[in-house]
Amino acid sequence: MKEKRTEKNTIYSGAMDEKNKISPAYLNLQNPKYIEIDNLYYAGLIVVDYDREQTDLILKSLIETNIDMNLSIFYEKQDSYKMIKELTYHIGNVGVEIKGANENRQDIDIAAFTYNDAKYIRKEMQVNNEDLYFLYVYIMIYDKDIKNLEYFLNKIEGLAQSKGMQTRRANFRQEEVFLATIPLMEHKEMIKEAAKRNVLTTGVLATYPFISSTIFDEDGIFIGTNIYNNSLVFINRYQTEKYKNANICIFGTSGAGKSFYTKLLILRYRLLGMKQYIIDPEREYTNICENMKGTLIKLGPTSQTYINILEIRKESIEEGENGFLATKISKLIGFFHLIFGQMDEEEKAILEEKLIETYHEKGITFDDESLYKLEKDKMIKEFKGPKDMPLLGDLFRILGKDERTKKFKTKLIPFVEGSLKFFNHYTNIEINNELIVADVYDLGEENLQYGMYLFTDIFWDKIKENRNEKKAIYLDEIWRLIGVTSNKNVASFIYKIFKTIRKYGGSSVAITQDISDIFSLEDGIYGKSILNNSSIKTFFSLEEENIKILSEFANLSEKEKVEIKSLKRGECLMFVGDDHILTKIEASEGEKNMIENKKGNL
């Protein structure tokens, strides 16, 4: 047995235990100003005093820095009965001293100061049931370079002072502070006397350390890094338990990085197989569409792809619902508002009458069964195809028969016989790809809104097809649809998308650089509604005038106004739910190549 035991001990003597696995290779405690452990230099700070009144989280600015540090906080709850007894004794003694002292005025002031403090603490403990704690805060900073360590020490000392904290360097006490700031939590008496300060329960709240300095959503996509502390930002905008909706607003001046960020979102969600529909008025998304094998639809004088604005699509209402024609007419009234200008109620009623007549000529009525036909040689109902629908030319002809609507006919001439006659064609494209970009650049500045509204209508129908699928619609230069050049019918349609898209599993993304324009219609109620119905708001660099306008509709602090103005290209302030975070957008070289159409692999 003795031989076996000896053999066993020999075997174990050659194994490394857990303690040796985590032990450093060397430890140098010779310098009183720092500790050296495995090529890292450590220096500690002890918080020795605080401002009397704290209205903010005093450790927030320290935690949000990108400086490597360990922060340790100890709370020691005191016996309330014992503390009240000691305070009462102290109050009595100091009270006698104040009454009996009249010579040294300075001593009297100091005594009165402590007397009032003691009375306040006793009152809070007795009346408001607060507890008394001893508070100890230690900060251990580390770096590979001594010069950097000194720089970081100075920076943390400055930040602490700005928050009302007085610190002292832990010279000759570095080892004790180090042990107090590692998971061993060894709290030695040598440093306790220097750090100990009393604090009531309400004061403890100001030291709360678990501050959301980053956003890391489960199953989220990578967005970038926190500018303050370099932590990673992952956002899952479809996380319904956390966010009210998946909508996003992206605002920023030209060149600030908003288009790159939008393309990055499209690329990353494309890799996840999500359906995405983009309205592109500036021809910015052509490259990423081609590189990601999406479908590019061009609408303009030279294009060979056509979409009939009067076409009723099967997906325009959900299965089990009724009202194909009624739904279509309400959308068309908005479209014709863009062409005819503001119409009064009588004019809208007459126009609706002519639209009903136009559809009736094609056998389409308010009875949904009129939208179906029997397939040849089969007893199967089939939804009517593109060529079974009326065209703008049919409405144009009917408008000309009535004196009351001849002015409408005149305004339709460009769309039927003139430069915009590509609107007067049957739809000849299928929209089945997971990534579709609608290029309306060729429509020109004056006619962009017609194409944008047309595609918004189509994409909205696609959004409603399947509630179980995640999908998104991107509205670049959205000011054209909700700004002063639009009208409240169109703006109401866009607002409806933002308000209801969540129930269809969708996300709507508003992108613009013209802040003033999106708040210009109806005193900004539509722009504000869209902003408020977006759980994620992303603000890139903006000019001072735009920041001023934005601050009227968004809850921006004075500090955030300054931050937005000073942001660099690719940096943004993100409002993600209740969290506000400064973020630097990050992309790999492969992603940059895909977005910028350079050679390279993703």
pTM summary value: 0.74
pLDDT-derived band of residue 465, with 50, 70 and 90 as boundaries? confident
**Count of beta carbons in the 10 Å neighbourhood of residue 245:** 21
CA 178 to chain centre: 38
DSSP 432-471: --SEEEEE-GGG-TTTHHHHHHHHHHHHHHHHTS-TTS-E
* Edge-to-edge strand list for the sheet holding 295-298: 232-235, 221-226, 579-585, 571-576, 536-539, 248-251, 506-512, 471-476, 275-280, 435-439, 295-298
Summarize pLDDT for 286-309 with one digit per residue, the tens: 999 999 999 999 999 988 899 999
User: The domain 241-294+433-602 belongs to what CATH superfamily?
Assistant: P-loop containing nucleotide triphosphate hydrolases (3.40.50.300)
Q: End-to-end CA distance of the chain: give it in Å, rounded.
A: 65
Burial group, residue 221, by CB count within 10 angstroms (0-12, 13-18, 19+): middle
Token pair in block for residue 429: 């494209």
Architecture, CATH, for domain 304-416? Orthogonal Bundle (1.10)
pLDDT-derived band of residue 379, with 50, 70 and 90 as boundaries? low
Could you tell me which of 80, 106, 82, 110 has the C-alpha nearest to residue 94? 110
The amino acid at residue 103 is: E
The Cα–Cα gap between 594 and 313 comes to 34
Equal CATH topology for 241-294+433-602 and 304-416: no
pLDDT at 600: 45
Domain ranges of the chain: 22-78+131-205, 241-294+433-602, 304-416
pLDDT at 514 over 80: yes
Q: What is the mean pLDDT of residues 519-528?
A: 91
pLDDT at 559: 83
pLDDT at 513 over 70: yes
Percent of the chain with pLDDT over 70: 92
Summarize pLDDT for 490-499 with one digit per residue, the tens: 999 999 999 9
Cα→Cα distances 430→383, 438, 518, Å: 15, 13, 32
